[in-house]
Structure 1
């Protein structure tokens, strides 16, 4: 059920004895990588406490439509926008009736009206209530909306009756929730991406760096999330906003980026080294600002750690992709780097071209692997990143199949 990885599920809980199953459902959804937030009706709170579901979900539970505190932080519109899917479990007969007629008299129904995400319900009620003509008419209306209907199951009920109306078990509901999402190319894959430049301090004021904006690495992080991956982005000093659902680690120097990269390998399936890491750093950092005196000065430089080579040679080696940003003989240099550093793939681009160089919003690259290469034409870095991730995912899956 890797389709649930990195998905945002808004769980609605309505009044009924089956509300206790919501606790287990939260756990099952989280087991498969989903983030869960909870909305409860007043009747649901008679059967299970908001504190219980807050503790399990790790997020505040939302109960009131006109809660001023909630509106200041994440109101009903923000909840509606946040969700990839609204799952109501249990869904009572009363809730089904209100949802079918488009009412918005509490937080849960209001969110359902406001969201562009899919809606699924897991009915739970007495067998006679389920069979009643009004409930069946509401069910038909909801199916036509369309709302996905999970169940109900058939069997003994808390009231002593036997028949349809039991809420399905948590494992089954988690599986049916996963089926609401298409399988993406990197579902369940843990991806680490480095992006941006590094800064190598000379003194407290000055540093050595380069023109990298980090735009390509950030675009790759966004594309990886869209493909279903869990993404850690190790970012040098850049003026960019983090893509949603990305864990960001900010660093400054090459040594800091190296340490962050090594620390990430314990939970890394794929590593993409898109950062423009400084090859050298000053041998010594002067503690006070260097004053202008002589007509010239010399700074001794020492080599920085080679991050991509260290990742590719690590005992816990992930599928490793490097970048070759060159100004001449681009393909030749990239192929040499691919072989020397024993990478799975390398992405070559000509940074001497102002249309695709540093700070540009566009790029054109060549993807190179042992035995093949593929040129990708000029496109926005967002569009190009999606194409790159598709190609990378195919090579990654092939490597795991052999």
Structure 2
């Protein structure tokens, strides 16, 4: 994929080098355009280092604004009020504004990342709204210290990947549960697990990249949820079940990646003294997947099954049992003794109408395989209906 990164004269231009490098790591071929003001903040050599090619600083006989206007994506990061206004009013008086006007006429996707003082951002609201109505994508800035600041680079890269993907899930609504749950024993103690939410978030991100409208129900997690994903919090298993109950009817796919506690302790209103012996009575929690299937019989549902120190045959049988008992369409089974909760890697077996054993891999790679399988299965279901 070819991405044209336009760097304008905001102090946030200092982040452009890291942004270009991360886009390159994701497989993008990045070409940079820089405004005169941007060159006063960072040297063009820095962007040449980050992209591997000299940035465009002026238009020449190569008519760069036409040559690069048909790229897969035009990314303006940072975007000043000045450049936003120029595109809104169809002005072309420098290489970047000329590129944007040409790209707009060609239908090339444009993503802008505003970065400026809060008062300027408020004043630019009318121009931003106008461009949004024309199809320009805006990534919301972080509002802090009276400034509209550059968002996390991961947030920008996520949007760039979505806009340059084939968007095979466009028009689909995907609900993902992730993280662990916390079941209180008394006001200060509780039972939980070590789930970080990394696997579920990787799946949610991949579904978003593929064009889906993604909603996340997050339990206890150690990850940041990107602002592009609509998110809800759920601390206990009952809260997670209630959130899924409220949301699942409006979704085409539900991926239950959360490590939901099977049992909850009987709650004690007073703090249990540490100097006395006590026992904990456990009671079963609601089955989130069962609730989802009951409410939305038509949804494609993916379950996760975690076991500890078992062989592949036992993992597959455990997954098939979940399919029989819960009516899910696909189960991702894994042995957490291989790579425990919180790891960046996973080894899984995908069980549906067939069994796919996968090697140990990064969770992002596994998420891509899972979403590819979901896309294939959902596509097969549509073909059968037709």
CA deviations over 1:46-74 (Å, ceiling 9, x no partner): xxxxxxxxxxxxxxxxxxxxxxxxxxxxx
Aligned 1:253-268 pairs, distance under 5 A:
253-268=236-251
Q: Aligned in 2, Cα 1:120/1:188: closer, same or farther, shift over 3 Å?
A: same
* TM-score of the pair, normalised by structure 2: 0.60
Extract unaligned runs of 5+ from structure 2: 1-75, 110-130, 136-162
1:62 — aligned with what?
none
Q: Which residue of 1 aligns with 2:78?
A: 78
| Structure 1 residue 322 corresponds to structure 2 residue 303 | yes
Structure 1 range deviating more: 274-283 or 310-319:
310-319
Aligned twin of 1:331: 316
Alpha-carbon distance, 1:255 to partner? 0.4
Residue 373 of structure 1: aligned partner: 355
Secondary structure of 1:333's counterpart equals helix
Q: Is the 8 A contact 1:365 1:376 kept in 2?
A: yes
Secondary structure in 2 matching 1:286: coil
Superposed CA deviations along residues 353-389 of structure 1, whole A, max 9, x for unmatched, are 1xx221111012111113x121222211112111211
Q: Which residue of 2 aligns with 1:49?
A: none
Secondary structure of residue in 1 paired with 2:175: strand
Map 1:343-362 onto structure 2 (within 5 A): 343-353=328-338, 356-362=339-345
Contact 1:222 1:244 in 2 (8 A): no
Structure 1 segments of 4+ aligned residues over 6 angstroms from their partners: none
Deviation at residue 292 of structure 1 after TM alignment: 2.3
Is contact 1:214-1:275 (8 Å) kept?
A: yes
The answer for unaligned runs of 5 or more in structure 1 is: 1-75, 123-146, 151-169, 175-179
The equivalent residue for 1:193 is: 176
Find the counterpart in structure 2 of residue 269 from structure 1: 252
Kindly tell me: are residues 338 and 235 of structure 1, through their superposed partners in 2, closer, same or farther at Cα, counting changes over 3 Å? same
Is the contact between residue 173 and residue 253 of structure 2 (CA under 8 Å) also seen in structure 1? yes
Change (3 A) 1:266 1:119: farther
TM-score (norm 1): 0.57
Q: Per the alignment, do residues 86 and 185 of structure 1 end up closer, same or farther by CA in structure 2, a change over 3 Å counting?
A: farther
Deviations 1:83-138 (A, max 9, x none): 9x9995774xxx24x2xx52x7xxxx3xx77x9xx96334xxxxxxxxxxxxxxxx
CA distance in 2, matches of 1:209, 1:362: 21
Deviation at 1:340, TM superposition (A): 1.3
1:173-188 matched pairs, under 5 angstroms: 183-188=166-171
Superposed counterparts of 1:10-159, under 5 Å = 77-79=77-79, 88=87, 91=90, 95-96=91-92, 98=93, 101-102=94-95, 109=97, 120-122=103-105, 148=107
The residue that corresponds to 2:288 in the other structure is 307
Distance 1:186-1:299 versus aligned 2 partners, 3 A rule: same
Distance (whole Å) between structure 2 residues aligned to residue 344 and residue 315 of structure 1: 13
- Larger Rg belongs to: 1
Distance in 1 separating the partners of 2:190 and 2:236? 10
Looking at structure 1, the residues matched to 165 and 260 of structure 2 have their Cα atoms a distance apart, in angstroms, of 36
